[in-house]
Amino acid sequence: MSEPMPLEALAPAVRAAFGAGARIVAAEPLAGDASTRRYVRLRLAGAAEAPTAVAMLLGADRLPLGSEEIGGVVGGDELP
């Protein structure tokens, strides 16, 4: 069973990115692959720039150690 979508947790990021009036009106899971990350398309209202956005979701026990998607610094010099 998949984890529930954390819409309440995504709402502040949506407002920060698209303005104080932006809100999530619908969320649709996107087809996954072998990654542990999940992606969801957010349908927005009150956002002048974009009617939709894509969010990357990590599990509660997963830390973003480095990802091009989030612009983080890649940790370590060795492969796992």
pLDDT in tens, the chain (80 residues): 466 778 888 999 999 999 999 999 999 999 877 777 889 999 999 987 889 999 988 766 666 555 555 555 555 566 65
- pLDDT on residue 16: 92
- pLDDT on residue 5: 75
- pLDDT on residue 36: 76
**What is the C-alpha separation between 28 and 51, in angstroms, rounded?**
13
The distance in angstroms from the start CA to the end CA of the chain is 28
- pLDDT on residue 1: 46
Show the CA angle centred on residue 15, arms to residues 72 and 4, nearest 5°. 75
Domain ranges of the chain: 1-31
